[in-house]
Amino acid sequence: MDASSRVDAIGFVGLGVMGGGMAANLMKRGRRLVVHDLDPAKCARFAGMGATVADGAMAVARQAATTICMVETTAQAEAVIVGPGGFIAGAQPGDTVLCMSTIDPLAAKAMHERLATMGVAMLDAPVSGGEPRAVDGTLSVIVGGDAAVVEACRPIFDAVGTRVFHMGGVGQGLAMKLVNNMLIQVGTVAVAEAMVMGAKAGLDPQAMIDVVRESTGASVAFEMRAPRYVSGDFRPGGTIDISYKDQELQTAFAKALGVPLFLANITEQIYQMGRAAGLAKEDSSALVKLYEKMAGVQLGPRD
């Protein structure tokens, strides 16, 4: 690959629930992608769309001057970005790494510092909106890093989202993402508790939804979760595993900052209960099953 082709290419590692939609939208904008995922089927899908498939993160970075990491955990992101076979091993001075995964902000800062010694820029740019908005290209992109690098990467952000929020230096995008995720994850548990209490009192579940939608209890968490509680649709969007991972990040980050978190610590254990009950790969809405079992009611059809 010649130097000009490498500059024009975008590397993308992690073609899962969120990354798959994001990568597809980049290709719809005419961007040339070099991709890698541990799942051969995901790689094959993108090969069929015209992407180049690489055999690892290092190989991706060798072929693309801008690389994107969209994996699930901090440990996975560290392996992809600064591991022995990661972007760092294939990057060149002047390259840019975008960590779009939701990971530990302090780990992102440490990776940024390592890459900077090589002349490689890094932004943390987690996204919000869930799978439907990843597919539609309407995500919110929450960015931390140097303003000039943010502006240089704006065409990428515009391909996957409709709003870009620059929150400050590296790590600040992730700090903001943890704030946002804490609200939806705590809210998911609150909605489950309220709906099950109402059902136990004899209220019709759909009637509860109709009333709350027009009342002060309405929220994004309610709108995302309550209809699933009633329909019984627990196909994964954001899984209980991912929500638990996010709450681990929130509570650990707060501890590092010296900030007390009561609700996040409590609800983290609810998500752990869901994992222990075999619900780890179901949508976070499936937490309602725990409360239904304890209360002896059901809000809707269940397998």
Give the model confidence (pLDDT) of 66-113 as tens digits. Answer: 999 999 999 999 999 999 999 999 999 999 999 999 999 999 999 999
pLDDT in tens, 247-274: 999 999 999 999 999 999 999 999 999 9
Pairing verdict, β 161-168 and 139-144: parallel
Distance CA 199, CA 186 (A): 20
Using pLDDT thresholds of 50, 70 and 90, give the confidence band for residue 237. Answer: confident
Question: What homologous superfamily does CATH list for 3-169?
Answer: NAD(P)-binding Rossmann-like Domain (3.40.50.720)
What are the structural domain ranges in the chain?
A: 3-169, 176-295
CATH number assigned to the domain covering 176-295: 1.10.1040.10
Residue 130 has a pLDDT of 86
Using pLDDT thresholds of 50, 70 and 90, give the confidence band for residue 3. Answer: low
The neighbour count for residue 259, using CB atoms within 10 Å, is 9
Q: How many residues does the chain have?
A: 303
Residue 57 has a pLDDT of 97
Residue 1 has pLDDT above 80, yes or no: no
Distance CA 151, CA 170 (A): 14
| Nearest partner of 8 among 25, 22, 29, judged by Cα | 29
Strand partners, 283: 239
Residue 303 has a pLDDT of 77
Q: What is the residue-averaged pLDDT of the chain?
A: 96
- Around 117, how many Cα atoms within 13 Å sit in the side-chain half-sphere? 8
Mean pLDDT of 191-197: 98
Residue 291 has pLDDT above 70, yes or no: yes
Q: What share of the chain is helix, strand, coil (3-state, %, to 5)?
A: 55, 15, 30
Give the residue numbers annotated as catalytic, written as ranges.
177
Distance CA 26, CA 259 (A): 38
Asked if the domains at 3-169 and 176-295 fall in one CATH topology, the answer is: no
Q: From start to end of the chain, where are the E strands?
A: 10-13, 33-36, 52-53, 66-69, 96-99, 121-124, 127-128, 139-144, 161-168
> Which range, of 10-14, 174-178, 231-235, averages the lowest pLDDT?
231-235
pLDDT in tens, 149-158: 999 999 999 9
H helical segments located in 130-171 = 130-136, 147-152, 154-160
pTM summary value: 0.93
Residue 92 has a pLDDT of 96
pLDDT in tens, 12-56: 999 998 999 999 999 999 999 999 999 999 999 999 999 999 999
Mean pLDDT of 129-144: 94
Determine the 3-state secondary structure of 299 from DSSP. Answer: coil
Distance CA 55, CA 47 (A): 13
Determine the 3-state secondary structure of 228 from DSSP. Answer: helix
| Nearest partner of 108 among 74, 84, 138, 85, judged by Cα | 74
Residue 4 has a pLDDT of 62
Distance CA 47, CA 234 (A): 30
User: Is the dihedral angle over the CA atoms 268, 270, 276, 280 positive or is it negative?
Assistant: negative
Residue 274 has a pLDDT of 98
Determine the 3-state secondary structure of 276 from DSSP. Answer: helix
Structure tokens at 248: 């681990």
